[in-house]
Structure 1
Amino acid sequence: MTDSHQQQTPPAWYPDPDPSNPGGQRWWDGMRWTEHSRPAVPTAQPLYDGGPGAGPAAAPQPGSAQPGSTQPGSTQPGATQPGQAQPAAGQPGSFPAGYGQSGYGQPGNGQAGYGPGYPQVALQQGAVAYPPVAPGTSALTWSVWLVVGLQLLSVIGYLFLDFSSYVRAVLALSASGSSPEGPDVSRFTSSLSGFVVGVLLLDVLALVIYGLTVMFAYFDWRELQRRGFAHPFHWAWTFLGPIVYVIGRTVVARRRGGRDVMWPIWALVAVTVIAIVLVVIKVVTILSAVSSTIGGYVPGVS
């Protein structure tokens, strides 16, 4: 079996390869066996009603074919015949029913499974029931705090950008244009170059923050897997923004039964509120500086 088969085996319950759990099932997360397992589910022998006057159902005789039984030489969906390729070690012992065709007890077939070899999961429209984590497992990691907190750095950098000097230089250039000496371009050029350098530095800072956010989201996703969260919210959603990732991981971690799942959401709300307050303060400062500058150049404005 090649690596491509390992990637194609979907996460689900499969027959447990552990000999200490005969007939049971174990969760395969798509890459490896997990510690989640469940014992075999006993199934009752169906009784067949032969109609009025018929006696009790006779016990199956050797050589007789029962519905759902497997006779030597018969071919069942998903059965492995001698000479066929066997799955490699570390993979589920057989391909699940529905891997290429719908088997008994699988969604879309409409029939119940005949034995514990089939996943006993009641699903609708092919949904997968992921196992919960151990009770008390926390969903908080050091990396998710950095994913949330890094968003303040760009706002703090914005506070250091000198808008007031640039606006004053523009007004001074406009006022000096009507003087006999002509416009004072040197002051405007100096203020403009400083402003442009500041904007470029903010762009570089935003790019660095974006890359660090994606990296820390990956660390957070890997740590959640290590703690037993089956199929956590994928870190690649961070490319759409940290808000998308934080909300998605919170929803998935809560479905898996994790603890402390809401703290990143509250932290994100607090960061957003702080950022709004800082931006408002910066805008008020700029408007105040512009107003005082205009008062120095325009008569009657104080």
Structure 2
Amino acid sequence: MSSATPPGWYPDPSGQHGTRWWDGAGWTQHVGPPTAQMPRPRIADSVRTDTVFVWLMALLPLITLPLLFVYQPHFRFEVIGPSHVRTVDPRSVYTGGYFLVQGVSVLLYGVDVLLAYFDHRELKRRGVVRPFRWPWAFLSPIVYVIGRYVVVCKVAPGRPMWPLWTYIAVVVIGGVFGVIRAVAQFQQMLP
């Protein structure tokens, strides 16, 4: 910093602290927290905030519903041990349909992460400053979609959030359907 620089808080040149006081002639021992990030600027009303990628993320769970019919275990029971304990034969649970459903689920997870990356990139292209980070989709795609709309509400308040509500509805419907299916399968296992 030069002597022409007025006194004030500036980024710490050592990188150890957020800010350090410059007294006009040199750095002092007074340090402070990092400066707050600038607020995100609003985008024009003509700029669309919903991308094809977020819509695909919202509708992608619908692909898994028909897969629930692919997995049709026929539970076989066997008696093991001297006390004749009745248990499910694991070969009747881990069928080809089971592994197909698991493989497609992993593939869809990867597709969701990729869609989050493309959505993030598209939002930046449309002028959104610091859009929600796409790696949050690794935790769960719904985390990314919710976080994305938190940011969108800041840069484009009042815009409809149809992909978010669609995603939530699809997840809830799929969850109810999955629980009903699981209860029906567990009833097969009961003596």
TM-score of the aligned structures, taking structure 1 as reference length: 0.47
- Aligned 8 A contact 1:161 1:195 in 2: no
Match for 1:224: what amino acid?
Answer: L
Structure with greater strand percent: 2
Aligned alpha-carbon RMSD (Å) = 3.3
Q: For 2:153 and 2:169, locate their aligned partners in 1 and report how far apart those are by CA, in whole Å.
A: 21
Given candidates 113, 128, 138, the residue that maps to 2:48 is 138
- Aligned 8 A contact 1:214 1:239 in 2: yes
TM-score of the aligned structures, taking structure 2 as reference length: 0.71
Give the Å deviation of 1:240: 0.8
Give the Å deviation of 1:283: 2.8
- Note the residue ranges of structure 2 that are not aligned, 5 or more in a row: 14-18, 22-33, 80-87
Give the Å deviation of 1:125: 4.4
Corresponding residue for residue 195 of structure 1 = 94
Structure with greater helix percent: 2
Corresponding residue for residue 98 of structure 1 = 10
- Note the residue ranges of structure 1 that are not aligned, 5 or more in a row: 1-73, 79-96, 102-106, 110-123, 175-187, 295-302
Q: For 1:144 and 1:257, locate their aligned partners in 2 and report how far apart those are by CA, in whole Å.
A: 16
Give the Å deviation of 1:263: 1.6
Q: Number of residue pairs matched?
A: 165
Using CA pairs below 8 Å that are at least 6 residues apart, which structure has the higher relative contact order?
2
- Tell me the secondary structure at the aligned position of residue 137 of structure 1: coil
Q: Call closer, same or farther: CA 1:192–1:216 in 2, change over 3 Å.
A: same
**Is 2:20 the partner of 1:75?**
no
Q: For 1:259 and 1:242, locate their aligned partners in 2 and report how far apart those are by CA, in whole Å.
A: 23
Given candidates 151, 162, 167, the residue that maps to 1:252 is 151
Corresponding residue for residue 127 of structure 1 = 37
Give the Å deviation of 1:231: 1.1
- Tell me the secondary structure at the aligned position of residue 211 of structure 1: helix
- Aligned 8 A contact 2:11 2:20 in 1: no
Runs of 4 or more consecutive aligned structure 1 residues displaced over 6 Å after TM superposition: none
% identical aligned pairs: 33
